[in-house]
Amino acid sequence: ILSLKREMRNLSEECSLEPVTVSMAYVYFEKLVLQGKLNKQNRKLCAGACVLLAAKISSDLRKHEVKHLIDKLEERFRFNRRDLIGFEFTVLVALELALYLPENQVLPHYRRLTQQS
């Protein structure tokens, strides 16, 4: 899980995503872990979908920026783009469509990320 979170952070930096976006992706990912939704087969798809959902909800990405992010996710986590797009909805349902997070859930991750930079 830690190595996946590190990959999520590195990828987000490559795509110039804000630390708050990465923090949100971490919270989504941890919620999936706590729900027991993660397994060896889907862990990378979960991480990728969390980054994609966080990027979509927290920033005003243009179409080409979303495509670039998906390309990077596909390259970094070595999965098919079609699988990611399909799994995005699965993660959204698992999170009960609750993509807007309370500040107290995001802030600890945000502080850690900004102190590391």
Amino acid at 116: Q
pLDDT score, position 60? 65
How much of the chain, in percent, has pLDDT values that exceed 90?
4
pLDDT score, position 29? 92
Q: Are 25 and 8 in contact (CB under 8 A)?
A: yes
Q: Which fold has domain 1-110?
A: Cyclin A; domain 1 (1.10.472)
pLDDT digits (tens, 9 = 90+) for 17-73: 888 888 899 999 999 998 888 888 888 888 888 988 888 888 767 777 888 888 888
> pTM of the predicted model, to two decimals?
0.86
Q: Which two tokens stand for residue 2?
A: 């830690």
What integer is the mean pLDDT of 82-99? 85
Nearest to 42 by CA among 13, 96, 9, 80: 80
